[in-house]
């Protein structure tokens, strides 16, 4: 059923004259500047919905380590705060930025809060969910769900919130080759 829907959607999109491309998606930086993901074209992307008051928040440390280790090789870690799971990201963008910097030294790119599920799902997460399979359903189940994207913009793999950044390192190294 999902395959038929995606096929029909592809036909509609193609005949509409537009194809959805990861790099055309607009996002807002944590400082409020609107950019397209074209900025990251050619990089391996690790895209994560993050939250400051979650049991997985300590994963910021591992994400920062991956950023420091592999940025020079073409890895871009992108953090998208989300407040949809038990309101675990209640602060303002400034609060989030300060929390991440002071507690984890985060220097990878962070963005404004977004919705990853529901009626107001951000186009990036619509794209990521469409291009990868979730466990049982395609909805994002919790904070720190991770998507690894190849240099060409193709989603390589989706990882559960309980998968630590360190467990993804081998896949990252493979894609950076």
What is d(CA 6, CA 16) in angstroms, rounded to the nearest whole number?
Answer: 15
Domain count of the fold of the chain? 1
Residue 102 lies in a domain: yes
Neighbour tally for 34: CB within 10 Å: 9
The pLDDT value recorded for residue 138 is 75
Tell me the pTM.
0.87
Domain that holds residue 76: 21-176
Distance of CA 91 to the CA centre of its chain: 19
Residue 2 lies in a domain: no
CA dihedral 50, 52, 56, 62 (to 10 degrees): 70
CB of 105 closer than 8 Å to CB of 98: no
Provide DSSP, 125-143: HHHHHHTSPPSSSSS--ST
Residue 54 known to be catalytic: yes
Residue 39 lies in a domain: yes
**Predicted confidence pLDDT, tens digits, the chain (177 residues):** 554 444 444 434 443 444 568 999 999 999 999 999 999 999 999 999 999 999 999 999 999 999 999 999 999 999 999 999 999 999 999 999 999 999 999 999 999 999 999 999 999 999 999 887 655 457 899 999 999 999 999 999 999 999 999 999 999 999 999
The pLDDT value recorded for residue 44 is 98
The position carrying tokens 């440390």 is 61
Instruction: Indicate which residue of 22, 30, 45, 54 is catalytic.
Output: 54
The enclosing domain of 168 has a CATH number of 3.40.30.10
Residue 131 lies in a domain: yes
């Amino acid at each position: 059923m999902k395959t038929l829907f995606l096929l029909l959607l592809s036909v509609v999109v193609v005949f509409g004259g537009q194809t959805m491309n990861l790099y055309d998606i607009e996002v807002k930086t944590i400082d409020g500047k609107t950019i397209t993901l074209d900025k990251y074209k050619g990089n391996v992307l690790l895209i994560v919905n993050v939250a400051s008051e979650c049991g997985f928040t300590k994963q910021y440390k591992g994400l920062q380590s991956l950023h420091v280790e592999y940025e020079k090789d073409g890895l871009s870690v992108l953090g998208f705060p989300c407040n949809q799971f038990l309101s675990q990201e209640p602060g303002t963008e400034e609060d989030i930025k300060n929390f991440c910097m002071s507690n984890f030294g985060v220097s990878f790119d962070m963005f404004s809060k977004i919705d990853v599920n529901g009626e107001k799902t951000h186009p990036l997460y619509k794209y990521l969910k469409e291009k990868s399979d979730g466990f049982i359903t395609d909805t994002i189940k919790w904070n720190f769900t991770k998507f690894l994207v190849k240099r060409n913009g193709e989603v390589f793999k989706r990882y559960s919130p309980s998968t630590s950044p360190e467990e993804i390192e081998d896949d990252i190294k493979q894609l950076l080759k």
